[in-house]
Structure 1
Amino acid sequence: MSGPEKFTPSGIELGLYSNRVDALCEEMGSLLGRVALSPNIRDRLDYSCALFDVYGRLLGQATHIPVHLGSMAFAMADVVQKFDWQPGDSVVFNDPFKGGTHLPDVTFVSPVFYAGKLSGFVANRAHHADIGSETPGSMPVTRSLSEEGIIIAPTRLVRSGVLDESWLSALCGKLNDEQASRGDFAAQLAANRLGCRRLEALLGEYGFERCQELAVALQDYGRRMALISLGEIPRGRYRFGDVLDDDGFGHRDISLEVCVNADENGVTVDFDGTAGQVEGNLNCPLPVTAAAVAYVFRCLMPPQTPSCHGALAAVGINAPAGTLVNANAPAAVAAGNVETSMRIVDAVCGALAQALPGKIPAASQGTMNNLAMGCRGKHSWDYYETLAGGHGAGIDFDGRSARHSHMTNTLNTPVEVLERHYPMRIEQYSIRRGSGGQGRHHGGDGIVREYRFLENAELSILSERRWHAPWGLEGGRAGKPGLNLLDGDDLGSKCQLQVKAGQLLRIETPGGGGYG
């Protein structure tokens, strides 16, 4: 006797299901952004939402932050296996070595039940400008994870619909703005509750069994689409090496080595030869490295490829433990999530440019230009933002100017919002003309942003591409490196210092590389 016939939905049915799953995540994000209190979440939209199947495999996501989404997709299976889930539960965590990225990114996971059966999980991750670091903005120049803020191991915050108020109060009581932090956490919980309701409605419409069959079919479709795209990479080994500026403690030119190996068994990205984990906080937990790799290969896939586990798991990764790209606890990791991830993208793209000439653009700015500032005392405040720069040019296009790129997908903080909430004045916000690399197609230009401090404050900068410029391709010139200046004095790529009222901080972000 033959077994049961394999369920094969029509392309239309599968497409509708995939779009509805992604729309569910978009709606979660829309709610989170509307009701959050802090500017970094409310105005810059520094958050991401996703849906996972019962095994913790990515099923759908919103078009939010690649480093959030890829790392959640890589680590969620381990997280969901740690709990005996009940309806109404929510788990919170930020530990980079237990499913997180860096401490400011706080993740909430909630199970979805239908007719008494576990049917999937919704999750969101948001960047909090204050997570308990002694340094305002919680993005300090550090040597260990404990210096970067409060470490939250996966913890059941809501049990069967009942919030653990004492635990939440204890956490928020350690933060600088208890009211804003509590509001942001409430927004994340609300987003998950909405996601649960929407998935329950979808299950009610399709039925439990049909939804499970569609989820399996979607994963299979994503895997097949990924394999078709990967099959276009000629067999061979493609190497690329680059160096990061420094780790903030005097260690310069930190090597990042990549080998993309395409053979009959598929594609593997090998980081053998990359520097060991460093004293500073450029170190990456493995999920962050996986997110950067997955992002690059997802960009090679057709637009209709679902962003699901089946598609993202098609590329193998070899990242030796104890290295920059797979650090061991308790390594400091604040900049690994935001800076090293960007440079991993550059390195993988550099290798693929050899295999797929004409399909890969020149390097974009290669940094998020992280600024964290604030003060402690009677009128304490915390502020954090990342800054846009130039995109790399391609074979038939110029790079875009003044845009975020690759692993970040946030908005800028509007000048009006910044000046209303914080004791600063923006004196210049403009495109850094001529910073893009020249070529047949020129790289995009970076930006200039000047901050006049109206009160004494503490400033932290975590940036890259201040010494090593974004590379061009096929004879195109490199983009200009960035600059961090305080009253005209060069601060280097990473610093932490006290600033006085009246001082002027000027950030010039890198341009993208030229092409041809």
Structure 2
Amino acid sequence: MNPIELSLFASRLDAVCDEMGAVLRNAAFSTNIRDRLDYSCAVFDAAGGLCAQAAHIPVHLGSMAFAMTDLVAREDWVPGDMVIVNDPFLGGTHLPDVTLIAPVFSGGERVAFVVNRAHHADIGAASPGSMPVSRTLDEEGQVIAPRHLIRAGILDEGWLARLVAATRRPGDARGDFLAQVSANRAGAQRVAELVGRFGTAAFLADLAELNDYGERLARRAIGMLPAGVYRFTDWMDDDGQGTRDVRLQVAVRLADGEAAVDFSGSAAQVVGNINCPLAVTAAAVFYAFRCLMPAQTPACAGALRPIRLSAPSGCLLNARSSAAVAAGNVETSSRVVDLVLGALAQAAPERIPAASQGTMNNLAMGNAAPGAPWDYYETLGGGMGAGSTGGGWSGVQTHMTNTLNTPIEVLETRFPLRVRRYGLRSGSGGAGRRRGGEGLVRELELLAPAHATLLTERRHRGPWGVGGGGPGQPGRNLLNGESLPAKVAVELVPGDRLRIETPGGGGWGEA
């Protein structure tokens, strides 16, 4: 293929992912998917290798790229199939993220897969929002090992009914699952049209060339960094169960256009839910290196070939089955990005920014009251780390998440909540030649009783600066003016005010 044809081919695959996302958003019932855009869509080859992805959620997409090969090999696929999974130790991330996988056949031959992953604010946990301060995986909701939701075009209505019956709003849950089905059907149709246009042999040859191109760009980008071994250590605040200052450590070895990332020395898995399946750790590593590659680098398996990672079994970043992981997907993944970027900053301080807020500031709340049950889940933006070319952005989602906030109008219409304050947290960004971005302040007043859970980080140590830049301010959680822990479950009554102040980003360079 000449470069123009290759670019067009890559863009066609990207467009399939974008269309899948549009279908999913427009068909979904929940605010979490429809308004916050907490979902991701991708195309994989017949063996489970990544071919293309939309600009959705990095932690979703990187973990799917890491796990799909094993998932594909588990099943006997026929046309019209769709497999559902959320088990974090069998290809998922955490239980609210539910993945649907559909094969694409052409002329009787399997040629590709289309996949989407969406965050369900209720996956059947006892705690509203299905993000509890948990100790085991079972406390976090329904665990779905890979199984057919649709077999040869026939939907398993009985099993779907049992799945949604465990949620507080079964109608909304069913609508979201069927929206995911619709997204995959749209994607499968578009991929089949591409294969029909080019022919199976040409389509597969083009995929191989796309992967080779991605690998060349990735090796060149990594090869531009000075060879050597770069180490960095950072800490999680706590696990919500009494363990504080949980150590994370990395050694990044760069040589000959390849990167070996080793997390030996990191803490053992903990009782609380900040543990990570290896797929989530891989997603953070892939993301950090993808940021160093040229913008035209295709999101394909080839671009990941020069990157290897290892983490001891049973450590925080490669937890064993049944470990609690609800916050690992959102909080620990954010810290892994900080960890890898902290190591790379030693190799290329002019190219690596200071630490961003390092948390998604997870807030989950709701009530199972008869007649008016509700579940609300939100992640809040904060400060972006500053870099050599400019200060950090303020009040944005950073790194491993790419969701929107729930608009105030939607939040106050759908839930018994009133937004009392929503704005930037002045002075929270780290000082330096380039200042870190400012965090947010969001204060909610309860209009009805609710159970609320906070899973947050960077409440003890602020995000670090680079090259003499100062740290960003740590975040704070408050209930009626009184401080709350970083990870906590509380009962709220009408009139209570829950206030979350998110961290600022680190500064870059001496002022």
State the TM bucket, normalised to the shorter chain. over 0.9
Q: Output aligned runs, 1:410-421, within 5 Å.
A: 410-421=403-414
Q: Which of 455, 461, 468 pairs up with 1:462?
A: 455
Confirm or deny that 1:512 pairs with 2:511: no
Shift of 1:265: 7.4
Tell me the residue number matched to 1:483.
476
The aligned residue for residue 151 of structure 2 is 159
Map Cα deviations across residues 25-69 of structure 1 (whole Å, 9 max, x no partner). Answer: 001001101110000000000000000000000000000000000
Distance across 2 between alignment mates of 1:492 and 1:470:
18
Distance 2:405 2:141 in 1: 24
Q: What residue ranges of structure 2 are gaps of 5+ in the alignment?
A: none
Matches within 5 A, 1:416-495: 416-495=409-488
Correspondence 1:101 to 2:93: yes
Structure 1 Cα separation of the partners of residues 485 and 461 of structure 2? 12
Which one of the candidate residues 80, 94, 105 is aligned to 1:113?
A: 105
Matched, 1:361 2:329: no
Q: Quote the residue 1:397 is aligned against.
A: 390
Report what 1:11 is aligned to: 3
Aligned residue for 1:268?
260
Deviation at 1:377, TM superposition (A): 2.2
Out of 331, 343, 352, the residue aligned to residue 351 of structure 1 is 343
Q: Which residue of 2 aligns with 1:280?
A: 272
How many Å separate the matches in 2 of 1:437 and 1:172? Answer: 45
Residue 289 in 1 paired to residue 281 in 2? yes
Distance 2:84 2:181 in 1: 10
Q: 3-state DSSP class of the match of 1:321?
A: coil
* Aligned partner of residue 397 in structure 2, secondary structure: coil
Cα 1:417–1:243 shift into 2, 3 Å: same
- Which structure 1 residue ranges, 5 or more long, are not aligned? 1-8
State the match for 2:216 in structure 1: 224
Q: Secondary structure at the match of 1:218?
A: helix
2:190 corresponds, among 190, 193, 198, to 198
- 1:76-87 aligned at under 5 Å gives the runs 76-87=68-79
Q: Distance in 2 between matches of 1:172 and 1:313?
A: 39
Partner AA of 1:339 in structure 2 = E
Shift of 1:263: 2.6
Equivalent in 317, 321, 331 of residue 323 of structure 2: 331
Deviation at 1:250, TM superposition (A): 1.1
2:227 is equivalent to residue 235 of structure 1: yes
For 2:64, the equivalent position in structure 1 comes to 72
Q: Does the residue aligned with 2:17 lie in a helix, a strand or coil?
A: helix
Task: Quote the residue 1:91 is aligned against.
Answer: 83
Aligned to 1:313: 305
Paired with 1:214 and 1:104, the residues of 2 have a C-alpha distance of 35
Asked if the contact 2:464/2:470 (under 8 Å) is kept, the reply is: yes
Q: Flag as ranges the 4+ runs of structure 1 deviating above 2 A.
A: 263-266
Tell me the secondary structure at the aligned position of residue 341 of structure 2. helix
Partner of 1:4: none
- Paired residue type of 1:157: L
Deviates more, 1:313-322 or 1:49-58: 313-322
1:457-477 per-residue CA deviation (whole Å, 9 max, x = no partner) reads 001000000001000111111
Q: Distance in 1 between matches of 2:257 and 2:387?
A: 30
**Equivalence for 2:47:** 55
The number of residue pairs the alignment matches comes to: 508
Q: Distance in 2 between matches of 1:447 and 1:266?
A: 38
User: Aligned to 1:300, what secondary structure does the other structure show?
Assistant: coil
- The DSSP-based 3-state class of the residue aligned with 2:291 is helix
Q: How many Å separate the matches in 2 of 1:497 and 1:392? A: 31
The range that moved more, 289-298 or 263-272, is 263-272
Deviation at 1:262, TM superposition (A): 1.3
Answering whether residue 399 of structure 2 is matched by residue 406 of structure 1, we say: yes
Q: Secondary structure at the match of 2:327?
A: helix
Structure 1 residues 106-160: Cα deviation after superposition (integer angstroms, max 9, x where no partner): 0000000111110100000000000000000000001100000000000111111
TM-score by length of 2: 0.99
Cα deviation, residue 82, structure 1 = 1.0
Q: Which amino acid aligns with 2:12?
A: R
Match of 1:135 in 2: 127
Displacement of 1:313 in angstroms is 3.0
Between stretches 62-71 and 234-243, larger displacement belongs to 234-243
Structure 2 contact 222–257 (Cα < 8 Å) conserved: no
2: CA distance, partners of 1:312 / 1:386 = 28
Distance 2:256 2:190 in 1: 42
Structure 2 Cα separation of the partners of residues 313 and 179 of structure 1: 42
